[in-house]
Chain A
Amino acid sequence: KAGVTQTPRYLIKTRGQQVTLSCSPISGHRSVSWYQQTPGQGLQFLFEYFSETQRNKGNFPGRFSGRQFSNSRSEMNVSTLELGDSALYLCASSIRTDKYEQYFGPGTRLTVT
């Protein structure tokens, strides 16, 4: 069974630009979550989607948004990029939300200059 895939794997953007990251979950998984990982803060929760509906959202500014499509694929968007947005963005999928384990993709490394 194929794992979680994320595209692109690496991205370099300039301050003020916007970026869209994509995530394809494991086949049959209907929940997708997004995390930001930095050396100082560790893994921080961004949002969680299930059946195209955002179920939970972390403490990030409104510049961070996401969506999930009917095939469970998900995208997240960051507008007006800041230097502090440089991080590894990880997507994880699970069968459902709540108590089920999440399986992570390899991440997208975003560098903002």
Chain B
Amino acid sequence: EDQVTQSPEALRLQEGESSSLNCSYTVSGLRGLFWYRQDPGKGPEFLFTLYSAGEEKEKERLKATLTKKESFLHITAPKPEDSATYLCAVRGNEKLTFGTGTRLTIIP
């Protein structure tokens, strides 16, 4: 069965303090790894898709990387508006499996 584990569960950072979120996965036949951002009471917002080890994607202060066993979401000089829950998901042979997310809080 496909599995996704995200760490840490929660992270508090000062504004401007860079850090990384981790997503470890086991999947049969990786079709893609996806990162989403979710604000309270809203649906997840698509951020990135990664397909193969070594691939990297960037968007504003966020950068996602992928290895054969894990993915990292690096956040550089975060701002308070980056506060959200970040979800990682993998697409295997049958379905999309989500991790439980990292709740990120950026303190002004």
Collect the chain B residues with CB atoms within 8 Å of residue A99's CB.
31-32, 49, 51, 91
Q: Between A and B, how many residue pairs show CB distances below 8 Å?
A: 49
- Least Cβ distance of B97 to chain A in Å? 7
Contact A104 B44, beta carbon cutoff 8 Å? yes
Contact B43 A107, beta carbon cutoff 8 Å? yes
Provide the main secondary structure of the chain A interface: strand
Contact B43 A90, beta carbon cutoff 8 Å? yes
Q: Is A22 an interface residue (CB 8 A)?
A: no
Contact A42 B98, beta carbon cutoff 8 Å? yes
Contact B49 A101, beta carbon cutoff 8 Å? yes
Contact mask A89-113 → B, CB, 8 Å, 1/0?
0101000001111111111010000
Among A1-50, those with CB < 8 Å from B are: 4, 33, 35, 42-43, 45, 48
> Which residues from chain B sit less than 8 Å from chain A, CB to CB?
31-32, 34, 36, 41-46, 49, 51, 87, 89, 91, 94-101
> Which residues from chain A sit less than 8 Å from chain B, CB to CB?
4, 33, 35, 42-43, 45, 48, 56, 58, 90, 92, 98-107, 109
